[in-house]
Structure 1
């Protein structure tokens, strides 16, 4: 654990830029130690992460977050195809000189993280997946309420509570409000939200696909790769239902599934210290 005193936190850390292949990737990094590269959710930008979660991880790791190409503060051509998002992560790792790193992702970012692992397995020490889905055909589909809320031009606290938390739990609703305030605390140097016409176009570009098309045998590769995989999910996951992982627990050699009760799509925002400590323990002990 890094015990060096510092006033820099996830709320105040400056945005940096890497020039990569004719495009500019906006990123932030916090902490020291083993690099932990985190990939974003649908409609996510740098300021979509809960600072408490990042700060918890930064006590042990060099935590790196970034905006995908063409989104937030990054330039270039935007895409929501997992291979394009994975290429952003790999290119940023190359630009930062990361020979070996932990790759993580939330939701859509979890798909990107799985592709990164399949493309450069020799560089990935651990794969951390939060509120996401395995590749290929799925038995359990998203709850329609996800699309009703997620595609609105603007999401308020009530939308966030439904999308990322467990609205039937008073404790979860309180956690949603607290997380909302932490995310809003950054006053400057914020990444702009993604415009509706942009995210709708990106969704249309992949509308005929499975949620996570297994175009290159990712599912079989991850089952046998031997890279430690941690999946963290809420028991009320409306986007990527947690039961889709159950058949894989015994099939994927290195898969660990941790299900949190009375939580939704954003367990790391509801319980940032708990999830941060779980990730830390997993990386240090697997």
Structure 2
């Protein structure tokens, strides 16, 4: 692990704050090197990332930055789960921290937000990293109702985590779920407040939609960009099936696809080290 990351691992990284656009954004930073900014999932805050994944990225030479969305966790401002409005957070954070040549990443709902950010303010962004998310436009495979029924449970336990982020049919995936959950629980101080359940329930809907992400302008940018895009997925993602990305082969000219076996919506938590190494290799080989 590099010198900075050895002082501040994901478990011990201090909360930091920056004033921008009339609100305070809370963030954490580990490692040093090329900036990699990560936008979190539905009901996510800085504490839902697996420390093994974040530390793995720091080991690979990235400065890894996670943050809480406006109005959620430790950040102030008005909360929203509209990707077009959420995109303002990573855009403003990159500007406030004076970051350039950024690998901008997003998991799930965060993946939609970073696609918007990439489309409207891509000058600071060198690579787009998408994890367990959906492309814009019509889908060839819809989500499963099971996700919507499970994601709104207020205090879900390991069983629900297996359903939401792993592959319950796989013993290896269930084991990985338990190990990841234990790592995430290692941070005991300075944790972010959880996303209010009423806010989450009001912003998820009651079942699958097609498209989930109706953003024609964003799709057109992805079709014409020369900047590299990586989607990291699991072969059984119950909310954002990877089949929808494979349907865009030969449509998105810079799209790279990595799909892990017997994995679900959180492949980077089931395969934290492999995910970090694949991301680093992708960035190095396409820079």
TM over 0.5: yes
Q: Which string of whole-angstrom CA distances, capped at 9 and with x for unpartnered residues, describes residues 110-150 of structure 1? A: 11111111112222110010100101121211111101110
1:136 is aligned to 2:137: yes
- TM-score, L = length of structure 2: 0.95
Q: Which string of whole-angstrom CA distances, capped at 9 and with x for unpartnered residues, describes residues 69-118 of structure 1? A: 01111110000111111100000111101133110010001111111111
Alpha-carbon distance in structure 1 between the residues aligned to 2:121 and 2:200 = 28
Match of 2:49 in 1: 49
Alpha-carbon distance in structure 1 between the residues aligned to 2:211 and 2:275 = 29
Match of 2:73 in 1: 72
**What is the total number of aligned residue pairs between the two structures?**
283
Is this contact kept in 1: 2:4–2:30, CA < 8 A? no
**Structure 2 stretches lacking a partner, 5+ long:** none
Alpha-carbon distance in structure 2 between the residues aligned to 1:100 and 1:280 = 14
Q: Which string of whole-angstrom CA distances, capped at 9 and with x for unpartnered residues, describes residues 189-221 of structure 1? A: 0001111111123346xx999411215x11111
Match of 1:193 in 2: 194
Is this contact kept in 2: 1:78–1:202, CA < 8 A? no
Matches within 5 A, 1:161-172: 161-172=162-173
Alpha-carbon distance in structure 1 between the residues aligned to 2:209 and 2:22 = 30
SS of equivalent to 2:257: strand
Alpha-carbon distance in structure 1 between the residues aligned to 2:100 and 2:106 = 19
Give 1:239 shift: 0.8
Is this contact kept in 1: 2:165–2:267, CA < 8 A? yes
Alignment root-mean-square deviation, CA = 1.6
Match of 2:247 in 1: 247
Match of 2:113 in 1: 112
SS of equivalent to 1:248: coil
Alpha-carbon distance in structure 2 between the residues aligned to 1:199 and 1:248 = 30
1:82 is aligned to 2:83: yes
Is this contact kept in 2: 1:249–1:257, CA < 8 A? no
SS of equivalent to 1:129: strand
Alpha-carbon distance in structure 2 between the residues aligned to 1:209 and 1:240 = 11
SS of equivalent to 1:6: helix
Is this contact kept in 2: 1:136–1:213, CA < 8 A? yes
- TM-score, L = length of structure 1: 0.95
**Structure 1 stretches lacking a partner, 5+ long:** none
